[in-house]
Each structure stands twice: as C-alpha cells, then as structure tokens.
C-alpha cells in the first residue's frame, strides 16, 4: 500500500502496488481485494493507475465490516491479495457530447472516465452527486478535467437539490452518450430521466460478487430479459434495459448477516486503532 | 475404515473418514498378492506402481513407499481421499474376483498422511533447460503439469485466478471430505519443487496467452483452467434470493469458510428446508454441507436412483447423515415471498423413457403431475462448463462451440503451436485423477516439444 488519502469522513482512496494490474488496467474495470486470511473478496472500481510506478488506486466507502476494516489500513500495510483487472473496459471513443454522472464514492472512478472521454476528444459535462455537502469529493479534480460541472446533493445543502435539474439540462442540450456511476438507486433514476431523450446510458453495475470471474453466478442480473453475469459480461450495461428492482433485491440478500459481522467486529474492539469503536 | 458417527459428523465439518492406523494398513497391505502383471495398475489413469508401493508398506519402508507413489502422482493425499477407486484400480484387482479388492486408495492415503506427519523429502534438483513454461490454473491438472515439468528442469510459472491454489480441491470439495490443510500442503509441495505460483492472476485479463508467449517469453503454455461456469435451469424465479448455484454455495462455504462466519467474513444464509437440484458429486457435496449448516435437505433428481452419477460411497454417507431424495422430478418455477426470497418451488414428475440405440434412457415429463414444495433455499447443481474468458481472449484457439471445451488431441495439444490444455477445461467436468492423467500426458508432450524447440 503506497498512499492513503482521506476523501471525506467515511471515504478513503488507496494506491497499492500491483504492477501486473497497473500494466493492463483501463477505465471501467475493477479489482477484487482480499484484505487478509479470513477476509471477504470485495470488488472495487479502479479509479487510477500508474504504469511507471506499477500502482493502481481505488476508493471506497465504509459500509460494512470489510470496508471499515480497510479504512484502518495504513501506508506500508499489505493486503493478502488483489486480483485484476476484472470486467470489460469501458467503450471510450469520440461520441461528441458526453454526460458523466458520478455519485457518492463512485465519483472517484468517474474521474478516470472523464479523463479518458476527454482524451478521446469528447465535450464532457459532469454531474457530481452526494448525500450532503460534506460528502462531496474530488470536485476540484472534476472541474479541472471537464468542460462543465454541475453539483447536486440529496438535501440541497450544496448545489442543486436532487437530480431533477437534469431534465432541464437535457431539454437545453443534446447529449450523445451518458455514463453513470453511483448508488444503484441513482443509476436507476438517471436512466429513467435519459430514456425519453433516447440518450444511450451506460451504468456500472455493482451486484454482490464473490470470485468476480464468472464462477459463482451470484452477480447475475437481468438485462433486456437475459441473464448476464455482472463480472464477466459487465460491469457496464445499458441502463435502459436493466432490471433494477431485481438488482436492488439481490444486493440486499445478505444484509442481516453483514450487519451481524460488522457488529461483532465493532463490539470486539474493531481494528484496535480506535477509528471504528462501537 | 473408521468413520465419524453419522449423527456426530452431520453437525461438523471435520473429516468423515478417519484413515488407517499402522496396524490396519499393515493388515490390508498383507492381503496384496504383489502380482507380476498387476491388473490394478491398468485401471489407474496415471499408472501408479501399486504393487511396489504396497510392498513397501509390508516392509514398513514408508518413506520409500511414498516416494514410489510420487514418481507418478504428485497429489497422493488428495487421490487417496477422493478418487473413485471402486471404478478404477480396485475394480481390476484380482483379489476382488474372490472377495473384497485391496483398498488401494486407503493405503495410498495412509502413506501420504504418514509423510505429512514425518516431513517430506524433495527430489534432487535437475539441470536447468533454459525453457520457460506458463501453467494456467492451480487445480489438479495444472499442479501435475507444473510438477512434472519443473522436475525435468524447465522454469515453470503457475498462474491462478483465485487467491488460493488447489482449484476445485480448494473451492469445491468440502472440508469434511478433503481437509484444506492437506490441499495446501500439496500445493506447497509443488512450489517447493521450484514452481513459482502467482495467485490472483486471471489469464485473459491480467495477461492473455498471446502476451505470455510474446512479451512474457514463455516457450509453452498449459491451460488447466477447469470447468467453473455454473449452469442454471432457466426456470422463472431463478434470480430470487436464496437460489444459489452450486458454485456460489460451495465457494462461500468451502473457500471462504462461511461455516465459520462471523469469525470469517463471508456469510451464507441457509434456511430450514433446502432443496438441491441435481445428482452428481457436486449435488451430494452441496447437500451434505447444507445438513452441516443445520438444514433439512431434499435432493431433487430428474432420473431414478439407479442413474445417480455420484460416487456410491458418498450417496451412502449422505443418506446416513439424513438426506432425503425425491427422484423423477424436475423444477418448473421458483416462487418468492414479498421480500424477494424464495418460499416455494413448483415441480413436475418425470418418467424414464425406453433406452435409445446407445442404451441410454431419457426422461419425459408426466403432464398434469405438477406439485409444489415449501423451500427456503435452493441449490442448483446441474453441471458446469469451462469459463469462456480464455477462449474469448486467445485468437486461433479452437473450442467446441456447444460444450465450450478446448479442443485437444490425445496428448493435450491445442490448435495453437506450443499451447496445450487438459483436465476439465478439455473434457468437461470429470474427476481429479483424469485431470491429473491429462496433465501427465501433456507434460510429456510439452517436454518433447520444448526439447525439440530451438
Ligand atoms: C464491480 C463493482 C465495483 C465496485 N466499486 C466500488 C468502489 O469503487 N467503491 C466502493 O466503495 N464500493 C464499490 N463497490 C461496492 C463494494 O464492493 C461494497 O461496498 C463492499 O463489498 C462492501 O463490503 P463490506 O464488507 O464493507 O460490507 P458488507 O458488510 O458486505 O455490506 C454492506 C452493504 O454493502 C452491500 N454490498 C455488499 N457486498 C457488495 C458488493 N459486492 N457489491 C455491492 N454492494 C455490496 C450490501 O448489500 C450492504 O448493503 C463495487 C462493487 C462492484 C460489484
Ligand atoms: C463439488 C465437487 C466435488 C467433486 N468431487 C469429486 C470427487 O469426489 N472425486 C473426483 O475425482 N472428482 C471430483 N470432482 C471433480 C474434480 O474436482 C475435477 O474434475 C478436477 O478438479 C478438475 O481439475 P482441473 O485441474 O481440470 O480443474 P480445476 O480443479 O477446476 O482447477 C482449475 C483452476 O484454474 C483456475 N482458473 C480458471 N480460469 C483461470 C484463468 N483464466 N486464469 C488463471 N486461473 C484460472 C481456477 O480458479 C481453478 O483454480 C468434484 C468436483 C466438484 C465441483
Ligand atoms: S491387482 Fe490387487 S493384488 Fe494384484 S498387485 Fe494390484 S492391488 Fe495387489
Ligand atoms: S462474481 Fe462470481 S460469477 Fe460474477
């Protein structure tokens, strides 16, 4: 682990040494991290890579035990295993006008998309969304890279309130492609907004995964009535064809168990660094 | 052989069969006739010198015995436990014509366990040949090829996608049939021979085969990536919560040790009434794991008991532990509750049809015989096919369009020069020893290829 950067209270960016992965990584792909012997395999989207240094970066939001635990890792610590790059790279080419919508922690990987889209010669309009003002991350980076930036928060404490303003934006401007990375509910809402305008909308699915290479089938999603695997057929899919309700339901499958795991860990003293005391 | 009591073992993940004591092993070995033309060896896909190693046991030369096995088989502790000996070596044993055949598998296991307790010896280091080989997958096929080629002086790097080696031995076959410490021990042995094992390296993504050969400087590649892609039934409701593929279920329980959750971080949710669909070894393993996690389990199989493809010993073990079977039935639909979790399964009864020209009986549905069963967990164990990632990223590699298997000749040579394949990826789901046999043949062919290559 080379660098650790705190993005906000519960969001952290890590840069880790993984030369094989760095050499192959492309925007849109993800890695699987196993922190230690007894740990889970968790998928995280690549949000940067440096072929010279042989490093890749990922950012995560502390939601359950494994991500909370990861938050306690520091520079110089080692992870048991990092596998990748997994999933298909994004289709980056010259579309014309591209709308990039990033929400919450997924703002970090969308920065990589913006960069790639810009390099391919697109005009990029970026929309950043967060729950509250304090959770808005990487706004400066997004502003430097994009042609235009809009920000929004759920509670309206910063920028627009919610995503309804997107409709007005779409009335005014014509986009050739829309890329959304964020919480599932946000990706669903954006897909619904762009649909009537016929803008191809690409979302990054985050179904529950285990192996991330097509072995377990837990990541299956229904897209256009067909069963596909999030890890090998995706992670990007057409937002207008995705069965979001099923996805949301499948994501919640193990919630009670995950809560238990988190609770057991916290009550037994968390990671000992004091960051995550119950 | 001694086993844990069914009532006790049905509640734990410890090994079911306990293995021979020294006395038992000596007694069993003494029954072997040390035939001059041993039939048993003809039944062994890798040609283990069976009478020779049994003779060593008789003479209590255990170190020599295990060394004898290892000239042909790098994974004796595994094979001694999970090989279907009853249909291989033991089915050919002459003693079996008059009574019980020699328990070759158990003797093999005895020696392997003896070695584990007494430390193992490495063969002398060979002269380096200067040739580099990449082996994809660290299952039985890949481990065999890696071990055989490193012993011949080639430089071998093994690429494994998961974060542990062993293939199905690690993620599929449960702890109570094959303890993971034993698998790890075998994997370590192959590494000690000098093989470099790179975990978390998915070929097709991290590197592709053409990259390995061009930029990586590998002279030959062996693909032993197994058959890891789960099949689904296609019935409505299959994506409900509580419907697992056998692979998801086994990976959670065995590889990620969900049975020890929350000490280990990966959970599994299992209800009271589990249905396993299928009838092979995989289905038996899912059923027995579910019982150990506290559920009542019903196996739903579309043919009759006589057609069950699982090993007899394992069917018996499972029934002793409380497995209930529903034969001649197939699922039609999975029904969910308001929270998206499966609560019932609609099935239909089947009947066997007359044997066809090849003597195989088919099945057909009986109209109007639908019935519904209450379930809260479904595990689908109806077979696996090879993962398509390698095929998609290797131009010119020919595979069977229907089964997804890589096409190879009898020694494992694929359509690409210097690229070999074997094990489940070439045959479809089979057995540990057949994967190892394929590995042996491929290693020999690759050695010849490398030696002739300038
Ligand atoms: C392709 C992909 C890319 C991802 N990229 C990122 C990323 O860049 N940054 C980031 O913070 N998160 C990302 N996620 C989500 C991240 O993997 C989960 O937040 C993480 O696994 C939670 O682990 P945990 O043990 O801390 O929480 P858990 O205790 O496992 O779960 C807490 C919550 O997270 C949800 N969850 C659990 N596992 C997953 C999973 N595999 N995918 C989605 N949700 C899950 C659960 O439904 C639950 O609500 C990605 C997921 C996928 C599939
Ligand atoms: C539940 C279950 C129970 C079984 N029980 C028995 C039994 O009792 N007796 C018996 O003889 N057989 C049994 N079998 C079958 C036996 O395990 C297999 O036939 C055997 O493991 C096949 O070996 P293999 O080396 O071809 O493949 P695998 O064991 O599948 O190993 C392949 C390895 O390659 C890795 N891999 C895949 N793709 C890539 C890639 N692109 N890059 C890098 N690595 C990759 C995989 O992660 C895996 O580790 C069982 C199988 C299962 C699933
Ligand atoms: S055939 Fe039977 S008796 Fe003869 S050598 Fe083999 S195991 Fe011994
Ligand atoms: S995560 Fe296992 S198949 Fe996709």
Using DSSP, state whether A155 is helix, strand or coil.
coil
pLDDT band at residue A275 using 50, 70 and 90 as cut-offs: low
Q: What are the pLDDT digits (tens) for B203-255?
A: 998 999 988 888 888 998 999 999 989 999 999 989 988 899 999 999 999 88
User: Using CA atoms, how far apart are residues A124 and A178, in angstroms rounded to an integer?
Assistant: 10
Ligand nearest to the CA of B393: 2
Q: What are the pLDDT digits (tens) for B354-373?
A: 888 777 778 888 998 999 99
Backbone phi, then psi, for B186, in 5-degree steps?
Answer: -70, -40
Q: Residue B169 has which token pair?
A: 């031995």
Nearest CA to B226 out of B413, B403, B429 is that of B429
Cβ contacts (< 8 Å) between A41 and chain B: which residues?
163, 256, 266
Nearest CA to B308 out of B294, B291, B335, B287 is that of B287
Q: Do B232 and A217 touch (CB under 8 A)?
A: yes
Residues with CB under 6 A from ligand 3: B 32-35, 38-40, 50-51, 54, 93-95, 102, 104
Neighbour-count burial of B59, counting CB atoms closer than 10 A to its CB (0-12 exposed, 13-18 middle, 19+ buried): exposed
CA distances in angstroms from B102 to B32, B68, B75, B219, listed in the order given: 6, 18, 20, 43
Asked if the C-beta of A24 comes within 8 angstroms of chain B's C-beta atoms, the answer is yes
Cβ contacts (< 8 Å) between B161 and chain A: which residues?
83, 211, 213
Q: Is A60 in the pocket of ligand 1 (CB under 6 A)?
A: yes
pLDDT over 90 percentage in chain A:
22
pLDDT band at residue B121 using 50, 70 and 90 as cut-offs: confident
Bond into A235 cis (ω within 30): yes
**A253 C-alpha to ligand 2 centroid (Å):** 28
Give yes or no for a contact between B410 and B440, defined as CB atoms under 8 angstroms apart: no
**A263 C-alpha to ligand 2 centroid (Å):** 36
Residue B149 has pLDDT above 50, yes or no: yes
Q: H helices of A81-137, where?
A: 107-119
Mean pLDDT of chain A: 86
Query: CB-based contacts of B370: which residues, under 8 Å, 6+ apart?
Result: B332, B346, B347, B348
Nearest CA to B52 out of B92, B43, B40, B84 is that of B40
How many CB contacts within 8 angstroms connect chain A with chain B?
A: 122
Q: Is A33 in the pocket of ligand 1 (CB under 6 A)?
A: no
CA distances in angstroms from A52 to A17, A23, B134, B278, B431, listed in the order given: 11, 9, 25, 50, 44
Mean pLDDT of chain B: 89
Q: Do A66 and B205 touch (CB under 8 A)?
A: no
How big is the CA angle at B422 (ends B417 and B423), to the nearest 5 degrees? 165
pLDDT band at residue A277 using 50, 70 and 90 as cut-offs: very low
Nearest CA to B57 out of B1, B108, B113 is that of B108
The phi-psi region of residue A8 (left if phi > 0; otherwise alpha if psi is between -120 and 50; otherwise beta) is: beta
Query: Nearest residue CA, atom 5 of ligand 1?
Result: A44
Give yes or no for a contact between A58 and A71, defined as CB atoms under 8 angstroms apart: no
Interface test with A, best of B138, B139, B157, B163 (most A CBs within 10 A): B163
* Confidence (pLDDT) at B262: 80
The phi-psi region of residue A73 (left if phi > 0; otherwise alpha if psi is between -120 and 50; otherwise beta) is: beta
Bond into B72 cis (ω within 30): no
Interface test with B, best of A216, A234, A251, A267 (most B CBs within 10 A): A216
- Provide the pairing of β-strand B324-327 with B296-301: parallel
Give yes or no for a contact between B350 and B363, defined as CB atoms under 8 angstroms apart: yes
Neighbour-count burial of B25, counting CB atoms closer than 10 A to its CB (0-12 exposed, 13-18 middle, 19+ buried): buried
Q: What are the pLDDT digits (tens) for A59-113?
A: 898 888 888 888 888 888 888 989 989 999 998 888 888 999 998 889 889 999 9
User: Using CA atoms, how far apart are residues B14 and B180, in angstroms rounded to an integer?
Assistant: 11
- Provide the pairing of β-strand A30-34 with A81-86: antiparallel
Which one has a higher pLDDT value, B245 or A142?
B245
Neighbour-count burial of B383, counting CB atoms closer than 10 A to its CB (0-12 exposed, 13-18 middle, 19+ buried): middle
pLDDT band at residue B109 using 50, 70 and 90 as cut-offs: very high
**B381 C-alpha to ligand 1 centroid (Å):** 27
**B388 C-alpha to ligand 2 centroid (Å):** 15
Residue A278 has pLDDT above 50, yes or no: no
Cβ contacts (< 8 Å) between B202 and chain A: which residues?
83-84, 86, 213
Cβ contacts (< 8 Å) between B268 and chain A: which residues?
257
Query: Nearest residue CA, atom 3 of ligand 4?
Result: A214
Q: Is A255 in the pocket of ligand 1 (CB under 6 A)?
A: yes
Cβ contacts (< 8 Å) between B254 and chain A: which residues?
none
Estimate to the nearest angstrom the gap between the alpha carbon of B276 and the chain centroid.
Answer: 19
Cβ contacts (< 8 Å) between A231 and chain B: which residues?
none
Q: In what order do the strands lie in the sheet with A123-130?
A: A160-161, A148-153, A123-130, A97-103, A177-181, A201-204, A236-238
User: Using CA atoms, how far apart are residues B415 and B399, in angstroms rounded to an integer?
Assistant: 9
Nearest CA to B211 out of A88, A23, A51, A54 is that of A23
Query: Nearest residue CA, atom 7 of ligand 1?
Result: A44
* Confidence (pLDDT) at B236: 92
Q: Is B159 in the pocket of ligand 2 (CB under 6 A)?
A: yes
Interface test with A, best of B262, B382, B393 (most A CBs within 10 A): B262
Cβ contacts (< 8 Å) between B248 and chain A: which residues?
210, 216-218
pLDDT over 90 percentage in chain B:
44
User: Using CA atoms, how far apart are residues A121 and A113, in angstroms rounded to an integer?
Assistant: 12
Q: Do A250 and B241 touch (CB under 8 A)?
A: yes
State the complex-level ipTM: 0.86
Task: Indicate the pTM of the whole model.
Answer: 0.89
pLDDT over 70 percentage in chain A:
96
Q: Residue B45 has which token pair?
A: 């896909």
Q: How many CB atoms lie within 10 A of CB B334?
A: 23
Q: What are the pLDDT digits (tens) for B392-451?
A: 888 888 988 888 898 988 888 888 888 899 999 998 888 898 899 899 999 999 999 988
Q: What are the pLDDT digits (tens) for A161-197?
A: 888 888 888 888 888 999 999 999 899 999 989 888 8
Nearest CA to B136 out of B239, B22, B212 is that of B212
Ligand nearest to the CA of A13: 1
**A234 C-alpha to ligand 4 centroid (Å):** 11
Q: Which of B229, B242, B267 sits opposite A261 (nearest CB)?
A: B267
Estimate to the nearest angstrom the gap between the alpha carbon of B34 and the chain centroid.
Answer: 30
Give yes or no for a contact between B384 and B230, defined as CB atoms under 8 angstroms apart: yes
Residue B186 has pLDDT above 80, yes or no: yes
Which one has a higher pLDDT value, B236 or B261?
B236
DSSP A215-267: SS-TTEEEETTEEEETTTT-SEEETTTB-HHHHHHHHTTTHHHHHHHHHHHHH
User: Using CA atoms, how far apart are residues B448 and B131, in angstroms rounded to an integer?
Assistant: 12
* Confidence (pLDDT) at A86: 92
User: Using CA atoms, how far apart are residues B284 and B317, in angstroms rounded to an integer?
Assistant: 9
Query: Nearest residue CA, atom 6 of ligand 3?
Result: B40
Atom of ligand 2 nearest to the CA of B246: 1
Q: Do A250 and B245 touch (CB under 8 A)?
A: no
What is the chain A residue with the closest CA to B384? A215
CA distances in angstroms from B179 to A155, B201, B218, B284, listed in the order given: 53, 24, 34, 17
DSSP B230-286: EP----TTTTSBTEEEHHHHHIIIIIS-GGGTTTSS------SEEEEE--SHHHHHH
Q: Do A216 and B239 touch (CB under 8 A)?
A: no
Q: Is A206 in the pocket of ligand 1 (CB under 6 A)?
A: yes
pLDDT band at residue B3 using 50, 70 and 90 as cut-offs: confident
Q: How far is A166 from chain B (nearest CA, A)?
A: 32
Specify the DSSP class assigned to residue A20: H
Q: What are the pLDDT digits (tens) for B33-91?
A: 889 889 999 989 888 999 999 999 999 999 999 989 988 888 899 999 988 888 889 98
* Confidence (pLDDT) at B282: 93
């Amino acid at each position: 682990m080379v660098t650790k950067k705190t993005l906000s209270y519960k969001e952290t960016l890590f840069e880790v040494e993984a030369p094989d992965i760095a050499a192959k990584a492309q925007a849109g792909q993800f890695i699987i991290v196993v922190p230690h012997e007894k740990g889970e395999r968790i998928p995280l989207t690549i949000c940067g890579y440096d072929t010279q240094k042989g490093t890749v970066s990922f950012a995560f939001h502390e939601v359950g035990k494994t991500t909370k635990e990861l938050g306690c890792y520091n520079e110089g610590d080692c992870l048991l295993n990092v596998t990748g790059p997994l999933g298909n790279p994004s289709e980056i080419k010259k579309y014309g006008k591209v709308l990039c919508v990033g929400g919450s922690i997924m703002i970090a990987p969308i920065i990589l998309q913006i960069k790639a889209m810009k390099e391919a010669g697109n005009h990029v309009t970026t929309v950043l969304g967060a729950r509250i003002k304090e959770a808005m991350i990487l706004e400066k980076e997004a502003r430097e890279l994009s042609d235009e930036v809009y920000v929004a928060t759920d509670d309206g404490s910063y920028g627009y309130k919610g995503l309804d303003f997107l409709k007005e934006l779409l009335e005014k401007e014509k986009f050739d492609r829309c890329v959304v990375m964020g919480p599932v509910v946000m990706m669903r809402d954006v897909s619904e907004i762009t649909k009537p305008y016929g803008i191809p909308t690409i979302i990054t699915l985050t179904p529950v995964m285990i192996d991330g290479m097509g072995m377990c089938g837990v990541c299956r999603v229904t897209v256009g009535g067909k069963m596909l695997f999030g890890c090998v057929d995706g992670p990007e899919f057409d937002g207008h064809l995705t069965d979001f309700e099923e996805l949301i339901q499948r994501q919640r499958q193990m919630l009670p168990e995950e809560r238990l795991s988190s609770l057991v860990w916290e009550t037994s003293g968390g990671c000992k660094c004091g960051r995550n005391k119950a | 052989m001694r086993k844990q009591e069914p009532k006790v073992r049905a509640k734990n993940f410890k090994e079911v069969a306990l293995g021979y004591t020294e006395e038992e092993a000596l007694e069993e070995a003494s029954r072997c006739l040390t035939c001059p033309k041993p039939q048993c060896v003809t039944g062994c896909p890798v040609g283990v010198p069976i009478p020779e190693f049994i003779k060593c046991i008789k003479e209590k030369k255990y170190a020599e015995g295990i060394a004898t096995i290892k000239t042909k088989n790098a994974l004796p502790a595994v094979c001694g436990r999970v090989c279907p000996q009853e249909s291989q070596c033991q089915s050919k044993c002459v003693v079996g014509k008059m009574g019980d055949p020699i328990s070759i598998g158990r003797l093999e296991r005895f020696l392997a366990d003896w070695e584990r307790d007494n430390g193992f010896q490495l063969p002398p280091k060979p002269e380096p040949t200067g040739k580099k080989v990449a082996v994809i997958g660290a299952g039985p096929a890949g481990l065999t090829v890696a071990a055989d080629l490193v012993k011949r002086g080639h430089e071998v790097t093994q690429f494994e996608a998961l974060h542990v080696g062993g293939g199905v031995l690690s993620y599929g076959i449960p702890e109570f049939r094959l303890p993971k410490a034993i698998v790890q021990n075998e994997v370590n042995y192959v590494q000690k021979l000098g093989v470099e094992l790179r975990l978390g390296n998915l070929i097709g993504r991290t590197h592709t085969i053409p990259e390995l050969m061009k930029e990586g400087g590998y002279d030959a590649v062996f693909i032993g990536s197994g058959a890891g892609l789960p099949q689904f039934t296609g019935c409505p409701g299959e994506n409900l919560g509580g419907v697992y593929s056998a692979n998801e279920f086994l990976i959670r329980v065995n590889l990620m040790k969900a049975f020890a959750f929350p000490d280990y971080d990966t959970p599994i949710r299992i209800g009271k009434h589990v249905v396993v669909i299928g009838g092979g070894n995989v289905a038996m393993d899912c059923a027995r794991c579910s019982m150990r996690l506290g559920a009542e389990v019903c196996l739903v199989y579309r043919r009759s008991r006589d057609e069950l493809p699982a090993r007899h010993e394992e069917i018996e073990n499972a029934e002793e532990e409380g497995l209930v079977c529903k034969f001649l039935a197939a699922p039609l639909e999975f029904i969910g509750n308001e929270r998206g979790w499966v609560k019932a399964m609609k099935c239909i009864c089947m009947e066997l049809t007359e044997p066809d020209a090849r003597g195989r009986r088919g099945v057909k549905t009986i109209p109007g015989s639908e019935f519904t069963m209450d379930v809260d967990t479904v595990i689908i164990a109806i077979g696996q096919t090879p993962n398509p990632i390698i095929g998609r990223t290797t131009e010119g590699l020919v595979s069977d369009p229907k089964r997804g298997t890589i096409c190879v000749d009898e020694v494992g040579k694929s359509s690409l020069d210097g690229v070999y394949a074997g094990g489940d990826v070439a045959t479809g789901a089979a057995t540990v020893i057949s994967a190892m046999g394929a590995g042996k043949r491929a290693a020999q062919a690759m050695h010849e290829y490398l030696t002739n290559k300038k």
